[in-house]
Structure 1
Amino acid sequence: MTGILRGRPAAWLVGIVACTLALVALDAGGGTEGRTASAEPVRNATIVVEEGGTRTGFATPEVTVGGGGTVTVVNLDSMDHTVTSVARAADGTPVFDVRVPAGTSATVPGVEGLSAGAWAFFCKFHPNMRGVITVEGVAGGVEPVTTRFEQPLVVPSTRRGADIRLVMRRAKVRTLPHGPRTSMWTYDGSYPGPTIRRRGGRGTEVTVVNRLPRGAGSMSTHLHGDHHASADDGQPTTQLIRRGDERTYDYPLMVDGRPEPGSFFWYHDHRMDRTARNNWRGLQGMFIVTDPPTPGLRLPQGRRDVPLMVSERSFTAGNQLTDPFADGPEMSGHHGDMSWTGPDAPPDDATIGDKVLVNGRYAPYLDVSATRYRLRLLNSSPFSSYNFTLSDGRPFLQIGTGSGLLPRAVVRSSVLLGPAQRADVVVDFSGATGQRVVLGSVPASSGETGDDARESAVMEFRVGAPAADASRLPSRLPSPRLVSPVPSKVTQTWTFGLEESAHHGSAWTINGRAFDPGRVDHRARLDTVERWRFRNTSDVTHYVHIHAEQWRTLLRDGRRPPPWERGLEDTWRLEPGEEVEVAARFTDYTGPFMIHCHMLDHEDHGMMARFDVAP
């Protein structure tokens, strides 16, 4: 890191903080001489973020304010932060929300109208940072509102043919329960696009047509997780689909001469510098590869096999998507030396929505029988992670990842998924007739894996009567073979970091360099096994995705991975300071492929690299 401009507060701001910390100490019980138990609550309060807040949290995570008072946020960190309420208003937006750029201060709007009580808050950019504002005394009338599940879940239409045509076009779709429909960029007029369902080994050609509005630009569709030729990978800068044109992608659904294992893939736009924008506007869909019937394996099927794409968006008062990309950041430099400037430049680039959507709808419900269901969970958000739980404590039985079944089923009380990660789980609703079970996301305890997950209700299951159920809960599973043996030495190390310059701006980098589509960062030989290591030297978590192959997880921080990471994977959570080692055999295809962070702003702002598979 060559220099940091942000995070240098003015002298007056330092003075304010010194006074603030003294007041906070008094309010917390230090120096209480002269105060009585009946003293009026402090009229105003200050929340402080010190340097390194992404690691240490708010310096004053618990503050008390008198009714009608104000709360000021002072940010001494080198990163932007927010103070955002966990509680929601009737329209589903946070009761209060303020962004505080590095080295500035701001007043939290709406605090003066809050009712008495404890109001939890967090930073949207770094959800591990959490705190509580306690309102005392005479207060306002604003109360938290329980999420209302008012519209049914919609399962996207299914395409099963060998030749599929998807037209990218603008369409109005129902996302919110009331008011106008939302204009989005879609595949075939729906968000998500149609779900493609094909058996492994049955070749599939998908023709994508670009009929998006003028100004949308060229597009590139990537089938995330699949094994296919480089030319069909949705390259970020080549083989693009211009407006009015079309491109046919060939997916043989084969790996090294064998049918591809049953998997839960998804397709989405992958256009360089525009991936976050194009996904935000709706260019996403699901792709399920199925196995042939397996004797003895009786998983839920038909209507009890439900794909769930979880994402998030923010909307205007007229139910239209907001445009978080309108103000940049601006790119400077050239390929090989790219960096970004402006208020949303790295590390302050994070596209986050106010409302969580499931299959494109806010707070939906699904009527289920008191039987077992297979839920295929996909986090297609641009930035946020979710730690999924069920409101009655009912467990998940995880049977697979996005890349196939696990060797053994794993009972889990929560399932943490970052951007692009998937989990194949079974939930048994037996005994819950008449109940409403909420699928939600909750952060883990501070300092534990998943403490940066967003907190939100996601959807509701309305459990009806029992019904005939031929499924069974499995223990051992016919999981795909893992590559073995693997090299004892690491073939390639990929270091994910942040580079900032006092003169040129900032960029997310891999091995110290921002993405250059013309630069080959590593070469692998066909029909060889390589062992790769990921390292995170930045202060934020990344989600590492590799194209081309499906990978075996070997080590996480030098230890055997947890049971739910012992199958095939294509995307890994990489926390600050963490190291992960993976291995794969390069088969079938040569040419350029990508490795990148799947937090889409990070990908767009440099955190991608190219590797070539050579004969």
Structure 2
Amino acid sequence: MVRHSAAGGPDHYSRGPQGIVAATPVSHNLQMGISDFGRGSLFFAVLVALALALAPSSAGPGGALTAAADPAPQLATILIELGGAATGYATPNVAVAQGGEVTVVNNDSMAHTVTSDAVGTDGDPLFHVVVPARTTRTLVIARLAGGKYAFFCGFHPSMRGTLTIEGDATGEIPTSPPFDQPLRIPKVLTGNNVTIPMRMGKVRVMASGPRTRMWTYAGSFPGPTIKRPTGRATKVTFVHQLPRKAGSMSVHNHGGHQSSRDDGQPTRYLIGKGGRRTYTYPLTDFGAPVPAYFAFYHDHKMDVTARNNWRGLQGMFLVTDPRERRLRLPTGKFDVPLHFSDRSFTRKNQLTNPFPSPGRGMHHWMNGPKAPPNDATVGSRILVNGQYAPYLRVKPGLYRLRLLNASLFSAYDFALSNGSPFVQVGTGNGLLPKSVVRQDLLLGPAQRADVIVDFRRQRGENVLLRTIPRSDDTTGTGSRSATLMQFRVRGSTDQTARIPARLTKIENIKAPRKVAKTWTFGLSETGRGSFWSINGKMFDPGRVDHKVRMNSVERWRLRNVSDMTHYVHLHEERWQTLSRNGDKPPPWEKGYEDTWRLDPGETVDVFARFTDYPGLFMVHCHMLNHEDHGMMAQFKVLPTRSP
């Protein structure tokens, strides 16, 4: 078996597209010969009897003869046609003999992968190959045991298929993660004046083997969780202690409401090597405490946001509100933040480097095999709080799980192995008006969900948290499929928490009927190459794409005209969702939001009141390669007019 990584590696080239070759069974030849004879003749009957006596056959139960099975083909082809990201594999179900070869032919204009759902004892997919556009690769599966293996495209997980290997059980077989390390809860910082160094660190990602060298906040991945009560001004000082080659840094409090200067600008107010910068987060909006929210802070430097996040510059940010106590939601050890991200590793547990060397000009990524739309960064292993396949011991009670998808590109559709539902009580930006029961829960990059899971009747069980193939009908990018972590339900508790039906009121702001600005997300090309665009333009830090007056309310339209799902992030304000494709938003989108899923062809209308801070703020796709490769714009909030 040969493994292939998204960062590159050994590829086996075939001689070209291969058809399926199979021996013609004797019975088929026999039937062709019989057609020339009269079926009523004695000679015909004798010939048939003689042929059946001589032909190979197999005995079924009781000695009855059954037709000889066709031998499995030694060669099989997985075909991807033009538009495969939307239509899927042209040959989603293929079969091959054990030890045979599978050729992947990609006739599409986009790169794709063939990646197994199942993993081996090392945690990597049992097979994985990246196939650039209009290219052929051969997947060697000689070491795999016979059986059925589901596969998907790592870049477009809605593309799915099944490979059947016909043979015995000898060879490598799928295995479950070992769950042999306890879940790590990041250190919590609660002071009103916090200092966090950015430095190299060695992080325990795998349960065994070397620690992983990463760029970290305060030596851990994710970094320490900043936990502060709403309305209390918070100052966070970041100190740049990373190597000089890392370049300057910028830190964005994702989901926060802060001044333009403190918002993590991609090209201004940067932190150079050896420098420091203090960001001020008032945790107020329009003079009142902001609603409690669960967000994260991360690097936001132009052109290298994906690289810097991949290397570890992420941490969680939790704002609390004492007024929530009346709801009796789970608290303390029953309130667990979960940070999900995917990474790929070498055999020595070190991060792979899927990024081209910086410094060759901002347009060096516009051409070549990784130019948009082939620029997705996807990891082979999905981590929880920076660990692969951890477990958490829980009591048989109610648990509040704060789910954060901090991946660069991948989406996850969360589900529990025992079929229990989630009760969603909030988004990343605050509580919902009412609780929503959800059997599974789809989150794209930067999206968060505040959910309650009921373990009260599951004492003694081991419950798995999984990501499943996206369950709704969609032509979008889809979600990963994997087992993420294990909950071990043990002991007892006298917990008094509950799941309230009604939670909070959302501020009643009258939304304008007129759309003030439409932001169109697409893929564009010039003579220099391809790029991700907003309104047909590549990001330019010197250009203002829209102006809005402070204290006004505007309705914006988010529109996707590309063939890929985007997860669109709007900075700064407390946004509300007005409609999705002309209809009312689903119940889980009726709170405050800052990141929306936009499938191909979708349109979402949102609105907000622009308060407190004039200056420049960002609009971008939070699939971070897309942001780095042009899909970012900026709007300017103008001061209120003098009377």
TM-score between both structures, scaled by the size of structure 1: 0.93
* Residue 186 (structure 2) pairs with residue 152 (structure 1): no
Mapped contact 1:543–1:598 kept (Cα < 8 A): yes
* Residue 434 (structure 2) pairs with residue 408 (structure 1): yes
Q: SS in structure 1 opposite 2:531?
A: strand
Partner of 1:127: 157
The within-5 A match list for 1:73-472 is 73-109=104-140, 111-137=141-167, 140-294=170-324, 296-326=326-356, 331=361, 340-445=366-471, 447-448=473-474, 452-472=478-498
Give the deviation of 1:117 after TM superposition: 1.0
Partner of 1:512: 536
For 1:449 and 1:561, how far apart are their aligned partners in 2?
19
For 1:134 and 1:328, how far apart are their aligned partners in 2?
42
For 1:500 and 1:39, how far apart are their aligned partners in 2?
50
Q: Which of these residues, 630, 636, 639, is aligned with residue 606 of structure 1?
A: 630
Give the deviation of 1:480 after TM superposition: 3.9
Give the deviation of 1:279 after TM superposition: 0.4
Q: SS in structure 2 opposite 1:54?
A: helix
State the percentage of identical aligned residues: 56
Deviations 1:204-253 (A, max 9, x none): 00001000012000000000000010000000000000010000000000
Partner of 1:574: 598
Give the deviation of 1:481 after TM superposition: 1.6
Mapped contact 1:444–1:450 kept (Cα < 8 A): no
Q: SS in structure 2 opposite 1:564?
A: helix
For 2:401 and 2:392, how far apart are their aligned partners in 1?
12
* Residue 513 (structure 2) pairs with residue 476 (structure 1): no
Q: SS in structure 1 opposite 2:568?
A: strand
Structure 1 residues 560 and 226 mapped into 2: Cα distance closer, same or farther (>3 Å)?
same
For 2:101 and 2:471, how far apart are their aligned partners in 1?
29
Mapped contact 2:566–2:621 kept (Cα < 8 A): yes
Q: Mind listing any 5+ residue stretches in structure 2 that lack a counterpart?
A: 1-12, 33-55, 57-66
Q: Which of these residues, 514, 525, 540, is aligned with residue 500 of structure 1?
A: 525
For 2:423 and 2:619, how far apart are their aligned partners in 1?
30
Give the deviation of 1:340 after TM superposition: 1.3
Deviation larger for 311-320 or 53-62: 311-320
For 1:449 and 1:569, how far apart are their aligned partners in 2?
23
Q: SS in structure 1 opposite 2:252?
A: strand
Give the deviation of 1:265 after TM superposition: 1.3
Mapped contact 1:553–1:581 kept (Cα < 8 A): yes
Instruction: State the AA in 1 paired with 2:534.
Output: I
Instruction: State the AA in 2 paired with 1:490.
Output: V
Give the deviation of 1:331 after TM superposition: 4.9
Give the deviation of 1:115 after TM superposition: 1.1
Instruction: State the AA in 2 paired with 1:351.
Output: T
Q: Which of these residues, 541, 548, 551, is aligned with residue 524 of structure 1?
A: 548
For 1:366 and 1:121, how far apart are their aligned partners in 2?
29
Deviation larger for 212-221 or 441-450: 441-450
Mapped contact 2:476–2:599 kept (Cα < 8 A): no
For 2:436 and 2:464, how far apart are their aligned partners in 1?
21
Structure 1 residues 166 and 480 mapped into 2: Cα distance closer, same or farther (>3 Å)?
farther
Deviation larger for 137-146 or 240-249: 137-146
Deviations 1:82-103 (A, max 9, x none): 1011110111101111111111
Tell me the matched-pair count.
590
For 1:376 and 1:189, how far apart are their aligned partners in 2?
23
Structure 1 residues 246 and 23 mapped into 2: Cα distance closer, same or farther (>3 Å)?
same
Deviations 1:359-403 (A, max 9, x none): 111100000000011100000000000000010011111000000
For 1:293 and 1:465, how far apart are their aligned partners in 2?
30
- For the aligned residues, what is the CA RMSD? 2.2
For 1:378 and 1:324, how far apart are their aligned partners in 2?
23
For 1:203 and 1:476, how far apart are their aligned partners in 2?
29
TM-score between both structures, scaled by the size of structure 2: 0.89
Mapped contact 2:155–2:477 kept (Cα < 8 A): no
Q: SS in structure 1 opposite 2:626?
A: helix
Q: SS in structure 1 opposite 2:271?
A: coil
Report the structure number with the largest CA radius of gyration. 2
Structure 1 residues 31 and 314 mapped into 2: Cα distance closer, same or farther (>3 Å)?
farther
Instruction: State the AA in 2 paired with 1:579.
Output: T
Give the deviation of 1:292 after TM superposition: 1.7
Structure 1 residues 175 and 33 mapped into 2: Cα distance closer, same or farther (>3 Å)?
farther
Partner of 2:587: 563
Mapped contact 2:16–2:136 kept (Cα < 8 A): no
Q: Mind listing any 5+ residue stretches in structure 1 that lack a counterpart?
A: 1-12
Partner of 2:72: 41
For 1:323 and 1:32, how far apart are their aligned partners in 2?
59
Mapped contact 1:45–1:71 kept (Cα < 8 A): yes
